Amino acid sequence: MVKKSTVEILDTTLRDGAQAAGVSFTLEDKIRITLLLDELGVDYIEAGWPGSNPKDEEFFKEIKKYGLSNAKIAAFGSTRRKNSIVSLDENVNAIIKADVDVAVIFGKAWTLHVLEILRTSKEENLNMIYDTIDYLRKHGIRVIFDAEHFYQGYKEDPEYALHVVRVAEEAGAHAIVLCDTNGGTLPNEVYEITRSVVNTTKKSIVGLHMHNDIGCAVANTLMGVLAGARHVQGTINGIGERTGNADLVQILPSLVYKMGYKALKNIENLKRLRDISMTVYKIIGLEPNPYQPYVGEYAFTHKAGVHVDAVLKNPRAYEHIDPSYVGNSRKFVVSELSGSANILGLLRELGINNVSKTDERIKRALSRIKELERQGYSFDKAPSSAILIVLKELGYHKDIFVRYSWRMFVDSSGLSIVIIEINDIVDRVIDIDPITALKKAVYNVIKRIYPEASTITPTTMSITNIDGKMVRATMEFSNGLYSWKTQGVAINLMDALMRALIDGYEYYIAMKNLGLYERPSIDIFRNTNISLQSNMNT
Amino acid sequence: MVKKSTVEILDTTLRDGAQAAGVSFTLEDKIRITLLLDELGVDYIEAGWPGSNPKDEEFFKEIKKYGLSNAKIAAFGSTRRKNSIVSLDENVNAIIKADVDVAVIFGKAWTLHVLEILRTSKEENLNMIYDTIDYLRKHGIRVIFDAEHFYQGYKEDPEYALHVVRVAEEAGAHAIVLCDTNGGTLPNEVYEITRSVVNTTKKSIVGLHMHNDIGCAVANTLMGVLAGARHVQGTINGIGERTGNADLVQILPSLVYKMGYKALKNIENLKRLRDISMTVYKIIGLEPNPYQPYVGEYAFTHKAGVHVDAVLKNPRAYEHIDPSYVGNSRKFVVSELSGSANILGLLRELGINNVSKTDERIKRALSRIKELERQGYSFDKAPSSAILIVLKELGYHKDIFVRYSWRMFVDSSGLSIVIIEINDIVDRVIDIDPITALKKAVYNVIKRIYPEASTITPTTMSITNIDGKMVRATMEFSNGLYSWKTQGVAINLMDALMRALIDGYEYYIAMKNLGLYERPSIDIFRNTNISLQSNMNT
């Protein structure tokens, strides 16, 4: 048996990822992400820059309290300052103080940067690199050397760029990482230039650090590995300065499943990939990209009627990999034209098998969905409201909360009074915020009408206006185990909120009546396998 | 002088893009996007599937009323049905009825699809391809042949895949397009397989149609062109089924500026790229991706202090291309640590040059921004509110609307009454929606206090809750020429809305007082060049 080549993985979400506009981490965020990355099984976690940022120093102390199972923590830093003595360099010594096993040191490989930005000589730049690596090595630290702007440097002055590599190797760098810092290098150039470096290095392994400025960070990383690199740097979800870094979430499954390399401590960990990706989005406060390769909500979502038919015959027809390998799942979009077959698929998931494809009620449900989307509903974001429509049309659910009205008084003194009436039961809540008061009042009434729903809470909410006329309110609900999303669209904000709120409770009751609360293995509460949307195209 | 190779561009936003979950086009949307694509200068616009979708037929009629300057409209369709006569095939005849100059016909190139999905013989599949292309050609239509699943087909049965190419070429296809339908092919495989096809075709040109399932659609397209393909298919912003199609917005500038190919009718059109990309997002109703290569809001945004310094010395230090080539611009994020220098940059843009880097007022402004972000503000999304803080701290703006209060009554009968008081001036508005009433009442009062602000309207609004406690309201304003965004965060929804509303008017007045309304060439109203955000990392 041939032993597969191993590729080292360094995650820099906490360092280079923190350079992304819109991203900032608290100490607690950094700890949480570190533990996730350790669980995923990466080799190194580049966690901060102790010399530049005093707050990162806290992290290096704090993380020692956690016993990591897989990953080594790495500190980031630059080479020593020009014309100085490395042992007196504060930033370099900050790395030693951080008490890490691994340091990632960046240095210049492009003469433009040496001469115009650093404003030093080519010779002194080489000395800075050698001294810093050598000094840290003598302190027992493994050094990964990031050769900044390597590809651009190589294209303009290959001799100097290779000289930088040689010096880093002589100084004892474990890995020499070729950085496409500006992200503008083409995949074929990456292959050729990486190949030439791999051919000239003997002791150090060659690494890759790609940016996505021309949309090629993932492909460039794969091409670099094909050229012989054995160390890959990237971030979760590709977050990073400008257009971001290479996305490890996209790179890892291709490396392992498509190219046959060994990476991560355990290949099975890739099943956690979608979950880890989504958790990192949540920690950062960014909306997940539903179109993200491998892990996105829509990555295995089939919409065209011909595709749905084919996938039901053989998933390989329109799937490049089994979605479960990365913790994702297959989904179908129900559209006006491709509709009936997909609605039947949904009903099967709900345990309803006695409805035929040509049933008039299905057509009515689809046309109702279509009509509501014209009014401004977006069921992709709130499939539970659409599933309710189908169930009601088929007679599997009957609305419980039917007559409702409200009255609200809000005053800038900080007083909001909401009076709500559902099915003739009235409640009044006073709160600072009118929406909080509305949610509480609805909850109070509903638990009197249907006590089992008292464990349900709306968790998140977003409101947008459509065309300056209608308001769309989307709400997520949870019972602690599952979550589901509903939507209300209306001219009046409170009306839209009420519709989303009521749907949230109705959906829970509908699922409970179908016995699905007792069968949590069917993940119907999260609606991960069915998404409803009406659409004119197949 | 060497004549550069030309690459044909086919946009399929309206056809394959419409397969994306979350995307559906009205007839009007399709017309608008067609006109944008024609303006961009693509060669073909694949606009719909007349045989499959009766609503697409309308489009082909309607678009004839517009005289397109650059692009040819293409209709999409499949090969004739198995074991049938092409001249009797409804779908194929629907293309002829659509009265287009160009047809894009897809056929199977993977034996798995021929045998398991189509359930016909390999021989009959070849006949279906030949007959369909030949028939359409005899009706004077140029045929582009999409060889579905070509790369997978080639890997499993290269002889059959090449046989399909030969048959399409013999039937007279203008281009034979190699489709990575499942999107799982690696860039090196694309290069090698495309090369082998280019080497065997003589009359037809070779095209590429890539999907992004492993994050390589853009790179795969570039690699295919390097291998000799001269026809490229893709969509604006990469929208498409599952993870999407190859993004033309990312491909075009690389093809033209980095690889030296000729594409589009006029290279200058690429300056419209950002604008066209954003308009298509708007039409579809998708949030733009701020990290999108070339055109994203953050594509040329520098956050790290060392990067900002370097870019000010020489933009090439951290920019792979001049952002103006694609209609984008350079931006700096102001963070707590990298702060002062970037605030000075912002002030220079506003014509304020007499503030020094160490000014205490700048530190105070930054610490105020930081504090508000802790409370839940996200100034990345509403830089105007942050700019106001800086201007107020420096004494360049003094709030005009200082004392305000409101009272609101909302009833489910469809009645919302808002009473507002600003600087002792009172107004009352009755409307169906409370937010509309609030906006109208504030407008009424403000135009009495400051009549020049009467041309200002809030255009879009979004509200989210943070941690279930605070509410964040973001508003966009416009005076017809420029737009700007403000934000309010508070426990009470109405309070958050009021803060965002008042800031929107204050910002307009501040800019006017700085004389910037009279200097519209400085695009400060859109805040395209400055984004403020406090951050712990450099």
pLDDT digits (tens, 9 = 90+) for A294-326: 999 899 988 766 676 677 778 888 889 999 999
Please say if the pLDDT value at position A59 is more than 60: yes
Per-residue pLDDT tens for A429-452? 999 999 999 999 999 999 999 998
CB A453 within 8 A of CB A509: yes
Q: Which residues of A touch B457 (CB under 8 A)?
A: none
Mean pLDDT of chain A: 88
Rounded Cα distance, A12 and A251, in Å: 14
Lookup: tokens for B34: 């067609």
State whether B320 and A413 contact (CB < 8 Å).
no
The pair of structure tokens assigned to B212 is 């992004």
Distance CA B364, CA B393 (A): 7
Is it the case that residue A251 has pLDDT exceeding 60? Answer: yes
What's the CA gap between A50 and A78, in Å, rounded? 11
B493/A302 CB distance under 8 A: no
- Is the pLDDT assigned to residue A483 strictly greater than 70? yes
Helix (H) or strand (E) holding A148: strand A142-148
Give the model's pLDDT for residue B340.
Answer: 67
On the 0-12 / 13-18 / 19+ scale of CB atoms within 10 A, A359 is middle
DSSP state, residue A326: G
Where do the H-state alpha helices sit in B357-488? 360-375, 383-393, 434-449
Give the pLDDT confidence score for residue B339 in this predicted structure: 60
Instruction: Specify the range with the lowest mean pLDDT, choosing from A102-116, A451-465, B6-20, B87-101.
Output: A451-465
B72, B77, B331, B296: which is closest to A212 by C-alpha? B296
SS3 A128: helix
Assign B97 a pLDDT band (cuts: 50, 70, 90): very high
Query: CA B147, CA B141: separation in Å to the nearest integer?
Result: 18
Judged by CB atoms closer than 8 Å, whether chains meet at A212 and B538 is answered as: no
Mean pLDDT of B102-129: 94
Residue B373: predicted pLDDT: 78
Residue B141 has pLDDT above 60, yes or no: yes
B37: closest CA of chain A, how far (Å) = 20
CB B135 within 8 A of CB B86: yes
Q: Residues, chain B, total?
A: 538
Average the pLDDT over A19-28 and give the result.
Answer: 84
Mutation target among A151, A289, A320, A338 for the B interface, most CBs of B within 10 A:
A320
Task: For residue range A158-207, list pLDDT tens digits in order.
Answer: 999 999 999 999 999 999 999 999 999 999 999 999 999 999 999 999 99
DSSP line for B151-174: HHHHHH-HHHHHHHHHHHHHTT-S
Over residues B380-396, the mean pLDDT reads: 87
Instruction: Report the percentage of chain B scoring pLDDT > 70.
Output: 91
Token reading at A395:
């007679």
Residue A3: which residues within 8 A CB-CB, separation 6 or more? none
* Residue A24: φ, ψ to 5°: -150, 145
* A220 three-state secondary structure: helix
Distance separating alpha carbons of residues B235 and B246, to the nearest angstrom? 6
Residue B441's Cβ-side half-sphere holds a number of Cα atoms within 13 Å equal to 28
Contact state of B492 with A434 under an 8 Å Cβ cutoff: yes
pLDDT tens-digit series, residues B162-207: 999 999 999 999 999 999 999 999 999 999 999 999 999 999 999 9
Categorize the per-residue pLDDT at B480 as very low, low, confident or very high, splitting at 50, 70 and 90: confident
DSSP A506-521: HHHHHHHHTTGGG-TT
CB distance A407–B405 less than 8 Å?
A: no
* Shortest CA gap B71–chain A (Å): 23
| Backbone dihedral region for residue A244 (phi beyond 0: left; psi -120 to 50: alpha; all else: beta) | left
The C-alpha of B234 sits at a distance from chain A's nearest C-alpha, in angstroms, of 14
Confidence grade of residue A120 (pLDDT, cut at 50, 70, 90): very high
Q: Pick the residue from chain A with its C-alpha nearest to B462.
A: A464
Checking if the pLDDT of B337 tops 80, the result is no
The beta-carbon neighbor of B533 closest among A21, A48, A535 is A21
Kindly determine whether residue A243 and residue B293, on different chains, have CB atoms separated by under 8 Å.
yes
Q: Which residue of B has its CA nearest to A471?
A: B433
Mutate to test the interface with B, among A14, A15, A19, A195 (most CBs of B within 10 A): A19
State residue B341's pLDDT score.
66
Closest partner residue to A258 (CB to CB) among B186, B219, B380 is B186
- CA separation for the pair B141, B129 (Å, rounded): 15
Q: How far is A169 from chain B (nearest CA, A)?
A: 25
Mean pLDDT for A42-64 is 88
Min Cα distance A20 → chain B (Å) is 7
What's the complex ipTM?
Answer: 0.80
Tokens of A201: 């290095």
Q: What is the dihedral of CA A45, A49, A50, A52, to 10 degrees?
A: -170
- Of the candidates B465, B495, B537, the beta carbon closest to that of A460 is on B465
Residues of chain A contacting B432 with CB distance shorter than 8 Å: 491-492
- B239 falls in which pLDDT band (50, 70, 90)? very high
- Over 90: is that where the pLDDT of B56 sits? no
Q: What is the distance between the alpha carbons of residues A165 and A44, in angstroms, rounded to a whole number?
A: 21
Option in B21, B301, B410 nearest A301 (CB) = B21
Say whether pLDDT at B58 is over 80: yes
Nearest residue to B456 (alpha-carbon basis) of B502, B400, B487, B422: B502
Contact A495 B412 (CB under 8 A): yes
The pLDDT assigned to B351 comes to 79
Q: For residue A510, give the nearest of A395, A354, A396, A401 by alpha carbon.
A: A396
Q: Which amino acid makes up residue B208?
A: L
Enumerate the residues of chain A whose CB falls inside 8 A of the CB of residue B318: 181-182, 242
Report d(CA A147, CA A144) in Å as an integer: 10
> Does the pLDDT of residue B374 top 60, yes or no?
yes
Closest residue to B21, CB basis, from A52, A250, A531: A531
DSSP conformation class of A262: B
Question: Residue B338: pLDDT above 80?
Answer: no
- Is 60 exceeded by the pLDDT of residue B290? yes
Q: Are A303 and B218 inside 8 Å of each other by CB? A: no
pLDDT number for residue A3? 53
pLDDT at B384: 87
Can you tell me whether residue A313 is helix, strand or coil? Answer: helix
Are A243 and B304 within 8 A, CB to CB? no
Residue B210: per-residue pLDDT: 98
Q: For the residues B365-394, what does the mean pLDDT come to?
A: 84
Taking contacts as CB-CB distances below 8 angstroms, the residues of chain B near A113 are: 310, 317
- Answer whether B407 sits within 8 Å of A405, measured CB to CB: no
For residue A468, the model assigns a pLDDT of 67
In this prediction, residue B237 carries a pLDDT of 98
**Tokens linked to A64:** 């020692």
Tell me how crowded residue B295 is: count the other CB atoms within 10 A of its CB.
28
pLDDT interval class at A403 (50, 70, 90)? confident
Does residue B301 surpass a pLDDT of 60? yes
> What local confidence, expressed as pLDDT, does residue A310 receive?
77
Q: How far apart are CA A344 and CA B505, in angstroms?
A: 53
Which domains, from first to last, does chain A contain? 8-284 (3.20.20.70), 330-400+450-538 (no CATH)
**How many angstroms away from the CA of A509 is the closest CA of chain B?**
24
Measured between beta carbons, which residues in chain B are less than 8 angstroms from residue A191? 188
Among the ranges given (A491-505, A506-520, B258-272, B279-293), the one the predictor scored with the smallest mean pLDDT: A506-520
Nearest to A333 among B21, B291, B460 (CB): B21
Query: What is residue A8's predicted lDDT score, i.e. its pLDDT?
Result: 97
Write out the DSSP string of B197-257: HHHH-SSSEEEEEEB-TTS-HHHHHHHHHHTT--EEEEBGGG--STT-B-BHHHHHHIIII
Q: What is the DSSP letter of A406?
A: E
CB A356 within 8 A of CB A321: no
Which pLDDT score is estimated for A537? Answer: 30
On whether the CB atoms of residues A151 and A186 are closer than 8 A, the answer is no
Residue A272 has pLDDT above 80, yes or no: yes
Q: Does A433 contact B491 at a Cβ distance shorter than 8 Å?
A: yes
Q: What angle do CA A131, A134, A140 make, to 5 degrees?
A: 145
- When CB atoms are compared, the residue of A48, A184, A299 closest to B242 is A299
Q: Looking at residue B533, what is its pLDDT? A: 41
Interatomic CA distance for residues B161 and A249, integer angstroms:
32
Question: For residue A203, with 0-12 CB atoms within 10 Å meaning exposed, 13-18 middle and 19 or more buried, which class applies?
Answer: exposed
Q: Closest to A21 (Cβ–Cβ): which among B250, B434, B531?
A: B531
